[in-house]
């Protein structure tokens, strides 16, 4: 039984910004982002790696934030939902994928949405023109209780049909 968890210093890039932090070595990446860095856009839905709500990108690859320790991200580049609207114009201030979600009513309660946005961001970087099956396969790593998924699929396909930056 650990009485006081041991601490460790890590240095990483989060949404392009260099951060050096002292973290509990048992803290997972999602809790670290949420509670140490106050990046609460990343949500925690199951803490056992199934629901996908906590998905973030680590060195460009989607990761369950609840299944990776924060110390494992030492030296890595982490991207969260808070990065997706960076540099966008317009009143709503949304990136193209976010705008597609709004256009297509691809979110209801919004709790699972940040994780889904990150997985789809990875997909669209790998394959700028995915078909519906490819989108559904990526989405199958996420649980959403509100939408029935079909508007999320439509939003992803809409975002894919637009060149990046054309919101």
Which residues of the chain form contacts with another protein (CB under 8 A)? Answer: 1-5, 24, 26-27, 34, 38-48, 50-51, 53, 80-82, 84-85, 90, 92-94, 98-99, 101-103, 105, 107-114, 117, 135-137, 139-140, 142-153, 158
89/62 Cα distance (integer angstroms): 26
We find the least distance from the C-beta atom of residue 106 to another protein, in angstroms, to be 9
Quote the least distance from Cβ 74 to another protein, whole Å.
20
C-beta of residue 55 within 8 angstroms of C-beta of residue 63: yes
Task: Compare residues 75 and 165 and give the one whose CB is closer to another protein.
Answer: 165
Give 53 or 68: the residue with its C-beta nearer to another protein. Answer: 53
Report the residue number, 12 or 142, with the smaller CB distance to another protein: 142
Nearest approach, Cβ of residue 85 and another protein (Å): 5
Residue 38 gets the label, from left (phi > 0), alpha (psi -120 to 50) or beta, of left
Q: Nearer Cβ to another protein, position 75 or 150?
A: 150
CA atoms of 97 and 120, how far apart (whole Å): 8
In whole angstroms, the minimum distance from the beta carbon of 89 to another protein comes to: 12
Beta carbon nearer to another protein, 109 or 164: 109
Q: Rounded to the nearest whole angstrom, what is the least distance from the CB of residue 48 to another protein in the complex?
A: 5
């Amino acid at each position: 039984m650990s009485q006081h968890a041991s601490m460790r210093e890590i240095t990483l890039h989060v949404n392009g910004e260099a951060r050096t932090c002292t973290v509990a070595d048992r803290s997972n990446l999602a809790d670290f982002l949420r509670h140490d860095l106050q990046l609460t856009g990343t949500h925690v839905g199951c803490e056992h790696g199934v629901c996908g709500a906590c998905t973030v990108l680590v060195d460009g690859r989607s990761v369950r934030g609840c299944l990776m320790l924060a110390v494992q991200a030492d030296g890595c580049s982490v991207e969260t939902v808070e990065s997706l609207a960076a540099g966008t114009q317009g009143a709503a201030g949304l990136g193209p994928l976010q705008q597609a979600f709004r256009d297509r009513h691809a979110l209801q309660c919004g709790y699972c949405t940040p994780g889904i946005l990150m997985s789809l961001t990875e997909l669209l970087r790998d394959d700028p023109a995915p078909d519906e099956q490819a989108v559904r396969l990526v989405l199958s790593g996420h649980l959403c209780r509100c939408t029935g998924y079909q508007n999320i699929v439509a939003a992803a396909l809409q975002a894919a049909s637009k060149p990046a930056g054309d919101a």
